[in-house]
Structure 1
Amino acid sequence: MTTRIFIDGEAGTTGLGIRRRIEAVAERYALTLLSIDPARRKDPQARQELMAQADITVLCLPDDAAREAVALGHGTKTRFLDASTAHRVDPDWVYGLPELDSTQPERIRKARFVSNPGCYATGAIALLRPLVQAGIIPMDAHISINAVSGYSGGGKALIEQQEAEGGPPFFLYGLNLQHKHLPEMTHYSGLTRNPLFVPSVGHFPQGMIVSIPLHLVSLPGVPMIEDVTAALQAFYKDAQTIRVVESEPKLAADALAGRDDMELRVSGHSGQALLTARLDNLGKGASGAAMRNILLMSGKE
């Protein structure tokens, strides 16, 4: 059976990435894209008409616009996959990270409302959730998270700035420590207090590293690096797109650019550990994750 998909906001970076992925596998998975007339892409009636035709509507919109789009499609039978931050901790929406636990893929398959995870949150949750569940990291631990992303995640204005001659090589942002990914990081990691999260952008288009330092000697039971690694390996032993790999002396943030998988590592010595997640901010961190959720929602995986 053909699955009809409408991308509301397909002209943006994430929307274009999703569109390319759908086109690449459309015949194999019987997927059909419904496209809006560019002149009517902001016309509520035209959008509603396409939602009424679509089995799945993918929202690649700012948060407020995404909420408005869901209201617009209320009278239709379309299912929603929202790539914005608007619904990620909403209890009526299923979080679109299949690796969250063994039941999550089936929950995504059955849900009408699915929220696509944030790029930073994907790396942080992948590292923290297994260790919180294993009791290695207490739920009330004080956690610090640092991350660097390619500039493509910042939208059109930042892309233009970075691609112009003299674009800044590196900058920190979110220095009020209230980044919009924090709620989902905390909630789905199983923590009871917000981590201290410091994001940054480097002068490269795509790629990301999320890093979390741990003082193992301050954790209950004083776990070894091998214990931390074993907990991650056990959690992801059957995962399709997340791999626990060996530590390396250095990591390039853009090494997985163009790919939809993620690498986790545990490095360190003498009671100190560094957890790292490396992914493509537009792949596993955005469009690639959405593509897998589309396949799950359409019953093709």
Structure 2
Amino acid sequence: MPAPTLFIDGEAGTTGLEIREKLADVPGIEVRSIDPALRKDPAARRDMMASVDLVVLCLPDAAAKESVALASELGADAPKILDASTAYRVDPAWTYGFAEMAPGQAQAIAGAARVSNPGCYPTGAIALLRPLVEAGLVPRDFPVTINAVSGYSGGGRQMIEAYEAGTAPAFELYGLTLEHKHVPEVQGYSGLSRRPIFVPSVGNFRQGMLVSVPLHLDALPGAPKAAELEAALSAYYPQGGLVSVLPTAGETRIEPQALNGTDALELRVFANEAMRHALLVARLDNLGKGASGAAVQNIRLMLGLA
């Protein structure tokens, strides 16, 4: 039986390069590349799409939509598509590629023709919030605030170049219009009916991420203890998977880079019961479970290799 074939449209970008590198460790996949001189040639790209089983789009939103249109011209011969942009993440015709998000999600990805790869920030936020919303511990209309910090590799070419040239600040908040493009994705898949406030930031380190959600416990229904939130998270995610719920064990600090180079996602519930405050924290590599690692996981599922 021939090996499944794959084409990365946009393989020269950060995510594309990371996916290509990770696929080198996955046996049984043939990765095909287009002549660099033809990377923007629609006919050449369409011909390449017709020759493979799966196309991975590592492109800006507008370019990703153009590629999907090219693939659609192939009709019954169109390949499966995994899109790493934000273009289709809340499109009901696409399957959301967060395999651990819900029971049966991995199977849905495996059977889908078109899958949207999750964003790095939403991966952490959804992992923290969805189980608590489904358990009724956090109401769907609860006013949620999400704070997050990422390494600069998630910010695109200009940000990467600025940090690596030493011209960027050590730390900065951004997205201060409070209309970050990840918000609809977070709201939709976490199950919130009220739009959350999302405040992203970037630090002077290449990769790594922390996503945090502060909560007033007495403002939640039934005034739960933080241990109840931790128990709900632990019950939601099977042991031994990529998503793990860890006790804080007296920790009073947490840094964002400990999972770099892995596809793991760690969840913790910090608390001060005397003050009735809790802090949900997700830690991940923004280029691992937050981008290329999630993409390879989805590639394996879509090609029947998982």
Q: TM-score range by the shorter chain?
A: over 0.9
How big is the shift at 1:24?
Answer: 1.6
CA RMSD of aligned residues (A): 0.9
Per the TM alignment, residue 237 of structure 1 is displaced from its structure 2 partner at its CA by 2.2
Partner of 1:269: 272
Where in structure 2 are the equivalents of 1:68-107 lying within 5 Å? 68-74=66-72, 75=74, 76-107=77-108
Question: How many residue pairs are counted as aligned between the two chains?
Answer: 298
Is 1:286 matched up with 2:291?
yes
Deviates more, 1:237-246 or 1:128-137: 237-246
**5+ unaligned residues in a row in structure 2: which ranges?**
none
Aligned equivalents of 2:139, 2:110: Cα separation in 1: 32
Asked whether the 8 Å contact 1:99–1:239 carries over to 2, the reply is: no
- Give 1:167 shift: 2.7
* Distance in 2 separating the partners of 1:176 and 1:251: 28
Pairwise CA distance, 1:54:
1.0
Moved more, 185-194 or 233-242: 233-242
For residues 214 and 178 of structure 1, what CA distance do their matches in structure 2 show? 22
Q: Per-residue displacement from partner, 1:193-218 (whole Å, max 9, x unpaired)?
A: 11000000000000000000000111
1:9 paired residue number? 10
C-alpha distance in 2 between matches for 1:124 and 1:277: 7
For residue 51 of structure 2, what is the aligned residue in structure 1? Answer: 53
Deviation at 1:294, TM superposition (A): 0.3
| Paired position in structure 2 for 1:180 | 181
1:296 and 2:301 are equivalent in the alignment? yes
TM-score, normalising length: structure 2: 0.96
Secondary structure of the corresponding residue to residue 215 of structure 2: strand
Query: 2: CA distance between counterparts of 1:187 and 1:165?
Result: 37
Superposed counterparts of 1:149-298, under 5 Å: 149-238=150-239, 240-247=241-248, 248-270=251-273, 271-298=276-303
Q: How far apart, CA to CA, are the structure 2 residues paired with 1:105 and 1:229?
A: 24
Higher mean C-alpha deviation, range 174-183 or range 68-77: 68-77
The structural deviation recorded for 1:239 is 6.0
Rounded Cα–Cα distance in structure 2 between residues aligned with 1:165 and 1:115:
34
Q: How many Å separate the matches in 2 of 1:114 and 1:31? A: 18
Shift of 1:165: 2.8
| Partner SS state of residue 266, structure 2 | strand
Alpha-carbon distance in structure 2 between the residues aligned to 1:261 and 1:106? 20
1:11-26 correspondence to structure 2 within 5 Å = 11-25=12-26
Unpaired runs of at least 5, structure 1: none
User: 2 CA distance for matches of 1:4 and 1:186?
Assistant: 35
Q: CA deviation at 1:255?
A: 1.3
2-side partners of 1:260 and 1:154: how far apart?
19
Determine the C-alpha separation between the residues in 2 that align with 1:39 and 1:240: 41
Query: What TM-score does the superposition give when structure 1 sets the normalisation length?
Result: 0.97
Structure 1 contact 127–232 (Cα < 8 Å) conserved: yes
The question of 1:146 aligning with 2:144 is answered no
